[in-house]
Amino acid sequence: MDIEKLLKEEAGFLLEHKCTTFPKEKLHLPGSDFVDRIFALSDRSPRVLGNLQHIFNHGRLGGSGYVSILPVDQGVEHSAGASFAPNPDYFDPENIVKLAMEGGCNAVASTLGVLGSVSRKYGHKIPFLVKLNHNELLSYPNTFDQVYFAQVEQAWNMGAIAVGATIYFGSPQSDRQIQETSKVFKRAHELGMATVLWCYLRNDAFKIDKDYSVSADLTGQANHLGVTLEADIIKQKQPTNNGGYLALDNFGKTSDLVYSKLTTENPIDLTRYQVANCYMGRAGLINSGGASGEDDFAAAARTAVINKRAGGMGLISGRKAFQRPMKEGIELLHMIQDIYLDKNITIA
């Protein structure tokens, strides 16, 4: 893998950057002993610790402390047609699980229906993460609200070892979603399951001169709320800008130090602010891979390098992998994983 070729003109900018905002020595970084060093000190039960360890030990990244997860809930979130028309093989849930397995992922994340339809065949072969709530686009006019499609017990009964949920922080429905997900994550931990929270921001008010729903300061605070709900792993979009608190009138509270001392314009520093808000890395930060585009391999490599050098725990990449022939999808997942295995790509 020629990482400099993939990063193009940004290679030096990203690979040589030194972070001076939050020193790496202050972070709780991923490693082979992460469960023992970090999670075992918390109030999580031995069963939760065992299932987290199972995730960390699986796939090509097993034993590294990093994770690569294949998420395919877009059949509900974005419609099956929009998601799977580029590669109709993935209308069949079995191919989703096969891609995760052959792609060397730590886990496969999908809906109750997808994973339940093949659980007896594959539930013991790769960790299952059941995404419990979704936003569906069949209601007219389209609305954006996360509602629960499944219960924790259904995921537990099929043999899943983790559950996931999304909260649209900043939306009119966020109060209800926070309360629902708090109860769901409590129940999951009672049953010994790990929890992953999609900490997304959604409100048209965040879109002004740019889309501040992906600003470092707002996504960082969403992460902080997610870890407060005792999510074991936080999934977040990688920040592309900063200053969401400053752009909106009479909104929230921040400090000038966030912008003068704790962040810079470098994407690694912006992402490190996300890690810092995950209790300085006590909960792992995985960034999403984003939509499929013209140069998916380069885009995925860039996201992975930024996440790793910032102190993140890995990548959760779906559409870039499954909206192409399976062989190419496997190659893309392996390329992402190779970045986390590459000792020359260090923490900034």
Reduce the DSSP state of residue 30 to 3 states and report it: coil
Say which residues have a Cβ less than 8 Å from residue 97's Cβ, sequence separation at least 6.
Answer: 108, 115, 118, 122, 126
- Supply angle C-alpha 91, 120, 106, rounded to 5: 70
Maximum pairwise Cα distance, the chain: 54
DSSP 79: I
Q: Is the peptide bond before 71 cis (omega within 30 degrees of 0)?
A: no
Chain centroid to CA 246: 26
Look up 343 and say whether it is catalytic.
Answer: no
Angle between helices 267-276 and 216-228 (to 10 degrees): 20
Which is it for the CA torsion 201, 207, 208, 212, positive or negative? positive
Question: 70 φ, ψ to 5°?
Answer: -95, 115
- Give the active site residue among 98, 131, 235, 320: 235
First to last CA, the chain: 21
C-beta separation of 171 from 213 below 8 A: no
DSSP 214: G
How far CA 251 is from CA of 164, 223, 248, 278, in Å, comes to 29, 18, 6, 22
Question: For residue 74, which of 101, 114, 107 has the smallest C-alpha distance?
Answer: 114
Burial degree of 324 (CB within 10 A; 0-12, 13-18, 19+) = middle
Active-site residues: which are they?
Answer: 235
